Chains A and B, each alone.
Chain A
Amino acid sequence: MTDQRSQADIVRRSLKKRYRKEKRFRAYGVLAVSIALGALVILFADIIGKGWTGFIKTTITLEVMLDGDSMYLDDPTDADQRAMADFSAPIIAALQKQLPEVLEAGELRQLNRLVGSYGSNDIRDLLRAQPELLNTSQTLTFLASDAVSVYVKHSDNPSYSIRLSEQQQHWVDQLLAKGVIETKFNNVFFTSGDSREPSNAGILGALVGSLLTLIVTLAIAFPVGVAAAIYLEEFAPQNKFTDFIEVNINNLAAVPSIIFGLLGLAVIINTFGMPRSVPVVGGLVLALMTLPTIIISSRAAIKSVPPSIREAAEGIGASKMQVVLHHVLPLAMPGMLTGSIIGMAQALGETAPLLLIGMVAFIVDVPDGFFSAATVLPVQIYLWASSAEQGFIELASAGIMILLTFLISMNALAIWLRKRLERRW
């Protein structure tokens, strides 16, 4: 009796200690999660804070008199004349109309700087397309120059340096007040390729490049990965050789991605003579990189198919192939798809191997096929981030936001697919 009581006392005393330990452990856990969440919040806040302005463009809307005399142009269809013509003259004239106090020639040149260098190109293209507009008056919207854009969007941000003179700042303020200079949603960002000019640079080229690359990756990595997984899991005999393969697949998953880039450069481009900078090569390299992920996740999915289902099918007299095709594969498919989507997401965010196969080139045009030069989202972000122009900082952040949106939606798709296709058995 006394024995039992003292034992109960010991238990009670140790109980307190145990509960304290438990509480402490739980606190560590909460702390760890908070740190992780905090880091995430800071990251997102920073990116969004920097990048949201990337989705805004600064425009100047002017009533422009397309005066043939001032442009030294009387036939817009003549290419020679167009090459000699001064298309900036109508813009300067229009701006002057808005700012009557500007008279000096030097000041006029400064005025011209407000409109981006592509302003005159816009007029040239317009006249080439519609020669009849010569000597008429048109309301046209131009992109403001990068400096104006930075001033309008970031005048209160000390980390940006304003590259406008006092005089120009004064004009911009005036034009802003008149509503000539406006900020609008930056559709250029989503509809054009890269450019030297931040205001004209867009992400579409990289987006299409990424898409094409991923299509190639998926088309190669998924069937090969799934087939390899099925063979290894269902048909391969258990011996040293298959063990060796298994170890090497796991090793492959841990190989730094840049090595795959080197492989692509050495084998695909140099040996097989494929062109550089094209989505096919990028896709091939990324497929090699994703393959181990897909194989491993597919094998896990196949393994998780309950043996009872397999036995059931075998017991009725299904052949090995029928067991795999009718039962194992459908049940493992959600897991395989999830693994593949995660592998694709990984490939989407990959930069290093693509740098080596030349997908880092400055490419203005949106790629129109698997064999046209292209770049991809992360590389584009890398290019912008390392660019000197101030306007590219916000574009890089905006690009990151686009990339993250895609990654998150791919992961969400993976989760949705799993929930949707997963059946209980």
Chain B
Amino acid sequence: MSKPLPQPNAVTQRFWSGCRDGHFEFQSCGKCGHHQFPPRLTCTACHAAELDWRRSSRRGAVYSFTVVHRAPLDSFKADVPYVIAIVALEEGVRAMMNVRGTDPASVSIGMPVEIFFEPTDGGEYPLPQARRRG
């Protein structure tokens, strides 16, 4: 059994294409200026349909995290212990990522991170992931 891979749809295709090009893009409301992620059809703050896409600086900080010891699927069993974090990006949106390249025990809330793009096994689009910054 392989890992679940993102299957882009009409709402998210732009985001995943951006990942392939090395950009993390989020939506910005043309009416009220609200920033949001994951992508939607309308603004979650004012419900306007005028959404623009913006590129993130790819810089942020760990908002919360967990070190997973019990994998939910066989395909993740070889990875334990792995870190899942909710990363708060500088632009005010949050996204889930794994934190790579650092000892899970050293991850903390507030830790500065940057987004990089990690190829997936058999997937067309790379996953945005986090690593320690600075």
Tell me if chain B binds chain A: no
